[in-house]
Structure 1
Amino acid sequence: MKSIKLNDQAQIPALGFGTWQMRGDECVRAVLTALEVGYRHIDTADVYGNHKDVAKAIKESGLAREELFITTKIPWDLLRAPDVLENFNRYLDELDMSYVDLFLVHWPNKQIPILDTLGAMNQLKQEGKVKAVGVSNFTSHHLQDALTTGHKITLNQVELHPTFNQLELQVFCKARNITMTAYSPLGRGEDLAHPAILELAKKYGVSPAQVILNWIISRGIVAIPKSANPQRIEDNYKSVSWEMEKIDIEKVNNISQQPRILNRPNSEFDY
């Protein structure tokens, strides 16, 4: 599996498995299938309510903890330092782990100083409970505020897909050595039917989903598709087994853009 080096030297698998809106047996089966197919990067979050399900799947897989890369996130209303520390220990209990590889702020919150949040997260890193600290759903101005604290931001996980390609944000992040992860990489499925994607799928003899995921990874961005369908889980995994020509990467880059799909109150997205 191709990996990307974070700015703190940690390695993150370029293709991960998302678990949003998955709970219970469905989540356990999906994560277990993903691990059996070859995924080693699992993305979860407090608000998903599936930490215990992810833990169960990992246990059933028989894989060693050291073989995996686990990401979780703390929600926007629990970003005060005491809340970060208290809830993270709960996450470890739910995941049945002694550490996570990547800990993210799930959404920015202008009501809580980011300095306090990042300070607590880095305390957890110093204690060995977190390997890397990052954020999610941060625009350039959120990142600028966070960087003024002096704390290192390793990664920013954002909505990113062909019709919302985040090219400008990538330029900003790359200049500051911040890796990006793409959630909703298939645009909730809507981007799969775009004529340019279908054309490339035919050219390479792969699925439209593979075209999109390969395009994301070719840009040096981590992709975390989600699916409960075993065939789709396996098909998505195959997106790392071939290379897209640069001219075709540009073709996808040039697809007409649409508004973001996912919004949250108080996020102050700049459009």
Structure 2
Amino acid sequence: MGAIPAITLNNAVQIPQLGFGTFQIEPEETRETTLAALEAGYRHIDTAQMYGNEKEVGQAVRDCGVDRADIFVTSKLNNDAHAHDDALKAFDRTMDELGLDYLDLFLIHWPLPGKGDFVETWKALEEIYRDGRAKSIGVSNFQPKHLNRLLQNTDVVPAVNQIEVHPYLTQDDVRAFGAEHDIATEAWSPIAQGKVLDDPTINRIAQREGKTPAQVTLRWHIQRGDIVFPKSVTQKRIEENFDIFGFELSEGDIGEISALNRDERVGPDPDTFNG
């Protein structure tokens, strides 16, 4: 297994390009599963207030024996806390749940365009960032028009935009906007909740490389420059998803997989989703 490369964010903070996701991991399973990921070599853990497992993620980070400075921890603001003061209080609750002195990255989870003003929310995150309690701040599920509003009305450019990305939803326009403004793209649901694993193109490449379809898909993300954090609760898959740095896809492979795009979401549409 090769070393995990790091992406340098627009504020010079480095984030491991491969992380471990905790979405839909039950709280009672989260500590042990996260410990297994850290033992396998992951040094980037992604959680959210909405997931209900921040406490157990924090326990794993504290109990794993790895220096806190060597683990990158992300959480995200809940959809019911977009008002300025609510966002500040919600961040305090996250820190209490995690039991950590600081957070590496804190995100607005959804723009919720029909519910309120995410610019006000972002200004609360800017305060958290300036206080040093979050080393970086960013957004999740933001479209270019949402990002443009932030860029025009606030001071801190988001470090990342965490969006749904996989071979059936390549998100080229959102990724290009991010690249233009030095906003890194994080890919959630990187294997489309398993939908792409039966794809003939991905399976053909996987057979040729002696890898699994999941490994090939994750490698596609890595070579495109996405930051990715697959989720699993089984030791074998946790280790398998980590083992994606000992091979490389050709430009032709990358192009074939990218051509599978069908603009097919497995999650909500950020333009209409209001939590």
Q: What is the TM-score with the length of structure 2 in the denominator? A: 0.94
Q: Which residue of 2 aligns with 1:140?
A: 144
1:118 aligns with 2:125: no
% same residue: 38
* Mapped partners of 2:137, 2:54: distance in 1: 18
| Backbone CA RMSD of aligned residues | 1.4
Q: Which residue of 1 aligns with 2:10?
A: 7
* Mapped partners of 1:119, 1:168: distance in 2: 26
| Greater alpha carbon shift after TM alignment, 99-108 vs 147-156 | 147-156
Q: Matches of residues 237-256 of structure 1 in structure 2 within 5 Å?
A: 237-256=242-261
Q: Summarize the Cα distance change of 1:178–1:100 in structure 2 as closer, same or farther, 3 Å threshold.
A: same
1:36-63 alpha-carbon deviations (Å, 9 max, x no partner): 0000000000010101111122222111
* Mapped partners of 2:60, 2:245: distance in 1: 23
Q: Which residue of 1 aligns with 2:177?
A: 172
Q: Which residue of 2 aligns with 1:102?
A: 105
* Mapped partners of 2:75, 2:261: distance in 1: 32
**What amino acid is aligned across from residue 259 of structure 2 in structure 1?**
N
The answer on whether the counterparts of 2:170 and 2:263 sit within 8 Å (CA) in structure 1 is no
Aligned residues, how many?
Answer: 268
Deviation at 1:245, TM superposition (A): 1.4
Q: What is the TM-score with the length of structure 1 in the denominator? A: 0.95
Q: Which residue of 1 aligns with 2:272?
A: 268
**What amino acid is aligned across from residue 80 of structure 2 in structure 1?**
D
| Greater alpha carbon shift after TM alignment, 167-176 vs 5-14 | 167-176
3-state secondary structure, aligned to 1:158: strand
**What amino acid is aligned across from residue 175 of structure 2 in structure 1?**
Q
The unaligned stretches of length 5 or more in structure 2 are: none
* Mapped partners of 1:227, 1:101: distance in 2: 22
Q: Summarize the Cα distance change of 1:256–1:160 in structure 2 as closer, same or farther, 3 Å threshold.
A: closer
* Mapped partners of 1:57, 1:99: distance in 2: 15
Deviation at 1:131, TM superposition (A): 0.6
Give 4+ residue runs of structure 1 displaced > 4 Å after superposition: none
* Mapped partners of 2:210, 2:57: distance in 1: 33
Q: Which residue of 1 aligns with 2:188?
A: 183
* Mapped partners of 1:219, 1:198: distance in 2: 19
Q: Matches of residues 1-271 of structure 1 in structure 2 within 5 Å?
A: 1-110=4-113, 111-150=115-154, 151-263=156-268, 267-268=271-272
3-state secondary structure, aligned to 1:9: coil
